[in-house]
Amino acid sequence: MKKASLVMGILSLFGMLFGFIPCLGAFNWINIPFAMIGLIISIVAYTQEDNLPKGNATAGIVMCSAAVLFGFLRLILGGGIV
């Protein structure tokens, strides 16, 4: 589950960067829900009771949070159109 959170974090960051391209800002309407799901999965993976390292889950939380934050910022500034 920790690897899945890392993969979803990486994909959501690439989706966010893709949404910053002019005229492709509407892609954030798809990427933000994907990043929110990745954030939930990352939090669940981080809170699991095991003795394994939690670096992948932490990276997933950071990347998904950044994708949600900057995706919302991009939608506020351009409305997903510009």
Q: Is the pLDDT of residue 82 over 60?
A: no
Contact 34, 63 (CB under 8 A): no
The count of domains in the chain is 1
Contact 32, 71 (CB under 8 A): yes
pLDDT tens by residue, 31-73? 999 999 999 999 999 998 787 888 889 999 999 999 999 999 8
What is the token pair recorded at 15?
A: 């989706």
Q: Is the pLDDT of residue 74 over 60?
A: yes
Question: What's residue 22's pLDDT?
Answer: 82
Question: What's residue 40's pLDDT?
Answer: 95
> Domain range for residue 42?
2-78
Question: What's residue 81's pLDDT?
Answer: 63
